[in-house]
Structure 1
Amino acid sequence: MANLLKTVVTGCSCPLLSSLGPCKVLPGKKDFLRTFHTHQALRCKSSVKPGIPYKQLTVGVPKEIFQNEKRVALSPAGVQALVKQGFNVVVESGAGEASKFSDDHYRAAGAQIQGTKEVLASDLVVKVRAPMLNPTLDSHEADLLKTSGTLISFIYPAQNPDLLNKLSKRKTTVLAMDQVPRVTIAQGYDALSSMANIAGYKAVVLAANHFGRFFTGQITAAGKVPPAKILIVGGGVAGLASAGAAKSMGAIVRGFDTRAAALEQFKSLGAEPLEVDLKESGEGQGGYAKEMSKEFIEAEMKLFAQQCKEVDILISTALIPGKKAPVLFKKEMIESMKEGSVVVDLAAEAGGNFETTKPGELYVHKGITHIGYTDLPSRMATQASTLYSNNITKLLKAISPDKDNFYYEVKDDFDFGTMGHVIRGTVVMKDGEVIFPAPTPKNIPQGAPVKQKTVAELEAEKAATISPFTRTMTTASAYTAIFIYIKYIE
C-alpha cells in the first residue's frame, strides 16, 4: 500500500503532493494516510471551471441622464434575482425614483447605494440609454467605465460609431439589447419587443385622450354615436399592441403591413387587414419588413391617401433598421383628414412616417393633432423598467447558466435560433474589438410560400370582420324596414 501511495504522489502533477516526498506509513495511521492521499489525488485530476465567480463581480445600475428618461435598468426584483445568483449589486442614489423605486426598496433587495463614479466603475454596468456626456461631472459616461469591464445597454451600434470608438479605448465588452436576435429562444430577453409593446399601448391611450369622441359606437337616447375608425400601419409588436388596445376600446380598426403573416395577426385581433392590388412579399430579416419596389410603394401611397379621408386616427410604426424612417404620409394626405383627427408617429425618433411630424412634440397642424413623442415607454416608467429589468436578468442567466461562475463564449460559427446565435448577435464588442455585425447563422429555416387568396376568400373575410356596431345597426334597419312595410300593406 505504501508503494502504491508513493506512486500516486510522485506521479501527480499537483505541486502540493509532489512536495510531500516519499510516503512513510506509520503504525495505526494507514487508513488516515489512504484517505488523505486519495482525496488530494482526485483534486489533481479535476479541471478548473472557466469564468469568474459571481461573488467576485459587481453589477452597477447608474441613474439615467438622458433628457426626460424615467426608466431604470434594474428593478428591485431584478436586483434581488441577481443577488440570489451571487452577484454584488450597487445602485446609484435616486436611480429608480422616477420609476417609483426608492433607495430603500433597493437596499431591501440586497443592493448597496453609491455615487455615480463608483457605480460606473463596476465590473458589469447595466443601462437603458447608451452612455453619453454627464454634464454634472463634465465627463462622458464611457470614460468612467472600468477598463475591460462589461456594458449592457441599448447601443444602436450602426448609428453610434463615435461611441463605439470611446468604448473600444476602454477595452469594454458590450452587449447591445437592441441587437438581441428576434428568434424564439430569445423572446424573454427581447427588450425591443418589450418596449414596443408598451409604446403601442400608450399610443392608443394618448390618441383617445386627444380625440374628441368615444372610440366605441353607441346608441343612446340623446342620439347615435359612430365608432372611431383607426388605421394602424405596421404589424410588428407595437402595431399589434395598438390594434389590440384600440379594438378592446370598441373602435373599428384597420391594419396594413407588407407581410402576409402580419396581416393574419391583425385579423386575429379583430382588425380589418388592408392590402394593395399589387402582390409582393414584404418579408425581411430580424422581424422587420424589407424595402418594397417602386410600383408597390406607389400603390401603397394611393391606398393611404384614400384611408386618410376615411379614418379618424392614424398610428404608424414603420421602421427600417439602421436607417431613417420612411415617409409614408405626405403633408397633403394629412391635410385631407377630418378636423379633429389624431395621428401618432411611433417612428418619430427615427425621423417619422408623417411628413408633418415634429419629433418629441405634440402640436396641431390644420386641425389635426400630431403626437410625435419619442419617449413613450418612459411615459410608463414603472412598467417599462420592470419589463426591461426582466429582459436583462433573463439574458444574464441564459448566457451564463453555470451556478458558480459567470462565463459565456462568443463564436462566429453558430446555428440559427440557438443560444450561440443569441450571444453572437447581442455582443457587438469583445474586449474593445468591434465585432458588429454578426455573421449569418447556419441552417436558417426557409419560410413556406404564401398562398395567394382568391377574390371570394377575401370577400368572405371582409364580411366576417364587420363590427358589432355595424351588424347591430344593419339588423335594426332591416327590422324597421319590415315594420314599415307591414304597416303600409295593412
Structure 2
Amino acid sequence: MIIGLLKDTLPERRVALLPTNVKHLVDRKTTILVETGAGAEAFADDSAYSEAGARVVQRNEVLEQANLLVQVAEPDVSLLDQLQPEQIWLSEYKPLWHISLVKKFADLKLTSFSMDTIPRTTRAQAMDVLSSQATVAGYKAVLDAAIHLPSFFPMFMSAAGTIRPANVLVLGAGVAGLQAIAVARRMGAQVAAFDVRSAVKEEVMSLGARFVEVEGAKEDDAAGGYAVEQTEEYKKRQQEAINQHAAKANVVICTAQIPGRKAPLLISKEVVADMQPGSVIIDLASSTGGNCELSEDNKTVVKHGVTIIGQSNYPTQMPKDASKMFGTNVSNFLELLIDDEGNLHLDFNNEIVRGTCITHQGEIYNERVKSVTA
C-alpha cells in the first residue's frame, strides 16, 4: 500500500505523521510518499522523512500515486476535485458538522475515515485524537489565560502585602478540562470545576479542585463517557450554580461540548456583565457555538471589561508535541488497515475500523452520521 502524507493548509501547523511514525509504517512494508514541506511547521524537515524511508515528492505525485491520503484537518475544496475514485481519505474532518463534505466523499466513491469518530473504548485509547489533542488544548488554555489576566495566578506574600491566588472555574471535566485543572493548580490558582457527569467528581477532587455539584443530572452509559442533553429543570439549577461561581472567578475556562450538537450555553451575556473587570474567559467550544454567549470563534474580544478568547484549535499553536501525539494516534490506527505484507486490509468486523469509517462504496457508512444527513 502507498500512503500519502499531505501538507495541511495554514493556519493548521500540525502534521499527521512525523518521521518516527513514517519509519514505523515503512517497517510494516508500506510505501510512504510525503509532500514537500509537509512537516515544516511542526519542525520536521524533508530530510528527516527521507532518512525515515519515505520519498519526498510534490503534491501532484502524492495525489496521483497514493492509495491512502492522510492529513490533520479536512481537505480544501480545491483538493477534492483532485482526488481519485477508490482512494482512501484519513483525517480529523468532523463529519457531524461538515455534512456537505461527507456527501462529496460519498459522491466521489471515496472511502473516508475521520479520526474524531474513533470509538471511546479501552482498545481504541491509543488512537483517540480527541483525547490527545484535548490534553494540549487544556494546557494551552491556562497559559493563555495567565498571559491575559492582569494579576497573578499564585498567592504571593511580601513586605508589599499579600496577593490572593486567582480563582479559576473550569466548565466541563473531560480531558481538556482535567488538564486545565491540573495546570491551573500547579500554577497556584484556586480551582472549581463543573460537569454534568457525576463520575468525574473523584478525578476533579484528586487534582485539588472543588467540584460544583448540581443534583439531578441525566447520564447515559451508551454515550461512551460523553455529556448528554439535560432536562430544562436541571439546566435551570445548573445555570444558577454556574452564575454564582462565574461572578467570583478571575478565569473561566469553557470546555463543555456535546458531539454533533451545538455547544451548551453556560455563560450568558448577563453573567459576563457581572464578572469582575479584568477577568478572562477562554472558550474552547467556540467553533460549535461556544459556551459563552459573547464568544467569537478565533477572536479575542473585550466585553464589560472581560477578555473573551474564542479558541477551538490550541493544538495548532503547539505543533511539535501535538503532532507527536496525533501522529502516534494515526499510526496506531493505520496498523488496523495494513496486513502482514503491507497491503491494504479493510476489516469492517473490527469495531474501531467500522466506527471510524464515514463513507464507503459511494454510501454514507457511519450510522450516526447517516442519521444526521437523513
TM tier, shorter chain? over 0.9
Provide the secondary structure at the position in 1 that maps to 2:202: helix
Question: Partners of 2:172 and 2:63 in 1: how far apart?
Answer: 38
| Aligned twin of 1:322 | 260
Q: Percent identity?
A: 37
| Aligned twin of 1:154 | 92
Question: Partners of 1:238 and 1:363 in 2: how far apart?
Answer: 22
From 116, 134, 154, the equivalent of 1:196 is: 134
From 97, 120, 136, the equivalent of 2:40 is: 97
| Aligned twin of 2:197 | 259
| Aligned twin of 2:372 | none
Please report how far the alpha carbon of residue 403 of structure 1 lies from its aligned counterpart in structure 2 after TM superposition: 5.2
Provide the secondary structure at the position in 1 that maps to 2:124: helix
Please report how far the alpha carbon of residue 203 of structure 1 lies from its aligned counterpart in structure 2 after TM superposition: 0.2
Please report how far the alpha carbon of residue 109 of structure 1 lies from its aligned counterpart in structure 2 after TM superposition: 1.2
1:201-350 paired onto structure 2 within 5 Å: 201-276=139-214, 278-283=215-220, 285-350=223-288
| Aligned twin of 1:421 | 351
Please report how far the alpha carbon of residue 399 of structure 1 lies from its aligned counterpart in structure 2 after TM superposition: 4.7
Give the residue type in structure 2 aligned to 1:321.
P
Give the residue type in structure 1 aligned to 2:75.
P
| TM-score, scaled to structure 2 | 0.94
| Aligned twin of 2:304 | 366
Give the residue type in structure 2 aligned to 1:58.
I
Contact 1:80 1:109 in 2 (8 A): yes
In structure 2, the CA distance between the partners of 1:399 and 1:112, relative to structure 1 (3 Å rule), is: closer
Q: Name the Cα RMSD after superposition.
A: 1.6
Q: Deviations over 1:403-446 (max 9, x none)?
A: 554313213xxxxxxxx22121111122332111269xxxxxxx
Contact 2:268 2:293 in 1 (8 A): yes
Contact 1:340 1:367 in 2 (8 A): yes
Unaligned runs of 5+ in 1: 1-56, 134-139, 412-419, 440-490
Contact 1:72 1:128 in 2 (8 A): yes
Question: Partners of 2:164 and 2:332 in 1: how far apart?
Answer: 45
Give the residue type in structure 2 aligned to 1:222.
A
Please report how far the alpha carbon of residue 132 of structure 1 lies from its aligned counterpart in structure 2 after TM superposition: 1.7
Contact 1:151 1:175 in 2 (8 A): yes
Query: Are 1:64 and 2:1 matched, yes or no?
Result: no
Question: Partners of 2:171 and 2:219 in 1: how far apart?
Answer: 13
From 71, 96, 106, the equivalent of 2:49 is: 106
| Aligned twin of 1:385 | 323
Contact 2:28 2:340 in 1 (8 A): no
Contact 2:336 2:353 in 1 (8 A): no
Question: Partners of 1:404 and 1:102 in 2: how far apart?
Answer: 25
Contact 1:150 1:174 in 2 (8 A): yes
Contact 1:123 1:146 in 2 (8 A): no
Unaligned runs of 5+ in 2: 370-374
Contact 1:157 1:436 in 2 (8 A): no
Query: Are 1:352 and 2:290 matched, yes or no?
Result: yes
Give the residue type in structure 2 aligned to 1:345.
D
Question: Partners of 2:301 and 2:44 in 1: how far apart?
Answer: 32
Contact 2:5 2:35 in 1 (8 A): yes
Question: Partners of 1:211 and 1:86 in 2: how far apart?
Answer: 51
Give the residue type in structure 1 aligned to 2:143.
V
| Aligned twin of 1:124 | 68
| Aligned twin of 1:445 | none
Question: Partners of 1:210 and 1:159 in 2: how far apart?
Answer: 31
Question: Partners of 1:168 and 1:297 in 2: how far apart?
Answer: 38
Please report how far the alpha carbon of residue 347 of structure 1 lies from its aligned counterpart in structure 2 after TM superposition: 0.1
Moved >3 Å (runs of 4+): 281-284, 398-406
| Aligned twin of 1:436 | 366
Please report how far the alpha carbon of residue 325 of structure 1 lies from its aligned counterpart in structure 2 after TM superposition: 1.1
Question: Partners of 1:234 and 1:282 in 2: how far apart?
Answer: 14
Contact 2:218 2:231 in 1 (8 A): no
Contact 1:157 1:428 in 2 (8 A): yes
Contact 1:143 1:170 in 2 (8 A): no
Contact 1:120 1:141 in 2 (8 A): no
Q: Deviations over 1:239-264 (max 9, x none)?
A: 01101111111111101001111122
In structure 2, the CA distance between the partners of 1:267 and 1:399, relative to structure 1 (3 Å rule), is: farther
In structure 2, the CA distance between the partners of 1:365 and 1:388, relative to structure 1 (3 Å rule), is: same
Please report how far the alpha carbon of residue 364 of structure 1 lies from its aligned counterpart in structure 2 after TM superposition: 1.6
Contact 1:91 1:111 in 2 (8 A): yes
Please report how far the alpha carbon of residue 385 of structure 1 lies from its aligned counterpart in structure 2 after TM superposition: 1.0
Q: Deviations over 1:204-258 (max 9, x none)?
A: 0100111122211122222111011100010111101101111111111101001
| Aligned twin of 1:173 | 111
Contact 2:168 2:189 in 1 (8 A): yes
Contact 1:130 1:155 in 2 (8 A): yes
In structure 2, the CA distance between the partners of 1:141 and 1:404, relative to structure 1 (3 Å rule), is: closer
Question: Partners of 2:134 and 2:362 in 1: how far apart?
Answer: 30
Please report how far the alpha carbon of residue 311 of structure 1 lies from its aligned counterpart in structure 2 after TM superposition: 1.1
From 136, 142, 145, the equivalent of 2:80 is: 142
Question: Partners of 2:343 and 2:31 in 1: how far apart?
Answer: 13
Give the residue type in structure 1 aligned to 2:136.
I
Provide the secondary structure at the position in 1 that maps to 2:248: coil
Question: Partners of 1:154 and 1:437 in 2: how far apart?
Answer: 18
Provide the secondary structure at the position in 2 that maps to 1:130: coil
Contact 1:168 1:431 in 2 (8 A): yes
| TM-score, scaled to structure 1 | 0.72
